[in-house]
Amino acid sequence: MNIEAVLKDPQAMYNVDSMNMFRALWGLPEQCADAWRLGTQGPLPVAGAISNVLVTGLGGSAIGGDLLRVYSAGKMAVPVAVNRDYVLPAYVDRSTLVFVVSYSGNTEETLSAYEEARNRGCPIVALTTGGKLKELADRDGVPVITVPGGLAPRAATGYLFIPTLAVLERLGLLSGLEAEVRELVEHLEEIRENLKPEASLEDNLAKQLARDFYNRIPVIWGGSGTTGVVAQRFKGQINENAKAPAYWNVFPELNHNELVGFEVPKELLEKLYVVILKDEEDHPRVKIRMEITRGIVAKAVSGVTEIKSSGQGVLARMYSLIYVGDYASVYLAALYGIDPGPVRIIDYLKAELAGR
């Protein structure tokens, strides 16, 4: 298999991309701009004092909740939690603003969580393309932000995350976002030029990563600030787009357990490829931990790459890394000869569950 030949041939990659994942990736900056616009419109829930925020969803519809959680941690007076379950935590009550997020609007765990939030009298905002969730929300007079369909949920992180920022700003819980979203859009427009299929392997970090991941198991590590969630996103995108295994963890926690497990079995460890995601705002001690850790694992695994976020604001920096991981995962799919779009296993599971 000639890795370079595959990565040099955009048309061949487009030919096996039945759901236009490459097109969706290219459109991410425009998606983020549109998502902001959608979030700034429409009714808001009637809410008293909000003491906490909960995002409930699954998979591609939940990761935006994690992005919100880490984004807002240093900026917002109330905490954000993410719920990936049928049930809500016991503390959720009328003072909890609940974002119910489902791209399809038909995910059973999310619909169940919606009913619970309703029963507890929570102020709710539904974020969806339609489906049963929109039906229920319309019936109940719950505000719905309706985003465009036609994408895979995981290709819609802009739509499934950015509107929550707009709502929180409108409710007076966050500020300064318009300029930050503008910077995000401009930054993504700039960096996609070096990530797109037409960019050469030498210039394209995502292609280089796919080459390094091929026939290996990617292990993605981020920091406890904003990059841990990006590591989780990298991992999920490799799973869903390339249909391949990948693992993730976070500093400093991984220094207290995972790192100890790099001694044996040597022949399996040689199959791992480690990526360390870095950000200028990583805790100074975490920066040192990353450096020491790299030295420890480098001897055991097939390779280690460090990737530093770029851009000014937190949003641009987070998405600069997400963009690289998203593109890398579709290039990896191309190397395996896999169509990145369909997720037959998830569809099969949902269909099996629906019949029981």
Query: Which of 145, 141, 68, 52 has the alpha carbon at shortest distance from 103?
Result: 145
Nearer to ligand F6R, 132 or 294 (CB): 132
> Which is catalytic among the residues 198, 202, 256, 267?
256
Name which position in 28, 152, 229, 322 contacts ligand F6R (CB under 6 A): 152
**Residue type at position 193:** E
102 binds ligand F6R (CB under 6 A): yes
Q: Least CB distance from residue 175 to ligand F6R, whole Å?
A: 29
Is 256 annotated as catalytic? Answer: yes
- At CB < 8 A and 24+ separation, what contacts does 171-175 make? 171/44, 171/47, 171/50, 171/97, 173/50, 173/53, 173/76, 173/77, 173/78, 174/72, 174/75, 174/76
User: Measured between alpha carbons, how far is 96 from 327 in angstroms, rounded to an integer?
Assistant: 36
Q: Least CB distance from residue 21 to ligand F6R, whole Å?
A: 10
Residue 125 phi/psi, 5-degree rounding, is: -125, 125
Residue 199: other Cβ atoms inside 10 A: 18
221 binds ligand F6R (CB under 6 A): no
343 binds ligand F6R (CB under 6 A): yes
Query: Which of 225, 218, 217 has the alpha carbon at shortest distance from 289?
Result: 225
Is 240 annotated as catalytic? Answer: yes
Element (H, E) at 34: helix 28-39
114 binds ligand F6R (CB under 6 A): no
Q: Least CB distance from residue 314 to ligand F6R, whole Å?
A: 23
Nearer to ligand F6R, 97 or 113 (CB): 113
User: Measured between alpha carbons, how far is 44 from 41 in angstroms, rounded to an integer?
Assistant: 9
Nearer to ligand F6R, 96 or 107 (CB): 107
Name which position in 72, 96, 107, 164 contacts ligand F6R (CB under 6 A): 107
Where in 239-278 is the site for ligand F6R (CB under 6 A)?
Answer: 240
Alpha helices, DSSP H, located in 97-226: 108-119, 131-140, 157-170, 177-191, 205-213
61 binds ligand F6R (CB under 6 A): yes
> Which is catalytic among the residues 8, 196, 308, 350?
350
User: Measured between alpha carbons, how far is 241 from 329 in angstroms, rounded to an integer?
Assistant: 6
58 binds ligand F6R (CB under 6 A): yes
99 binds ligand F6R (CB under 6 A): no
Catalogue the active-site residues.
Answer: 240, 256, 350
Q: Please report, as ranges, the residues that interact with ligand F6R according to CB under 6 A.
A: 57-61, 102-104, 107, 110, 152-154, 240, 343, 346
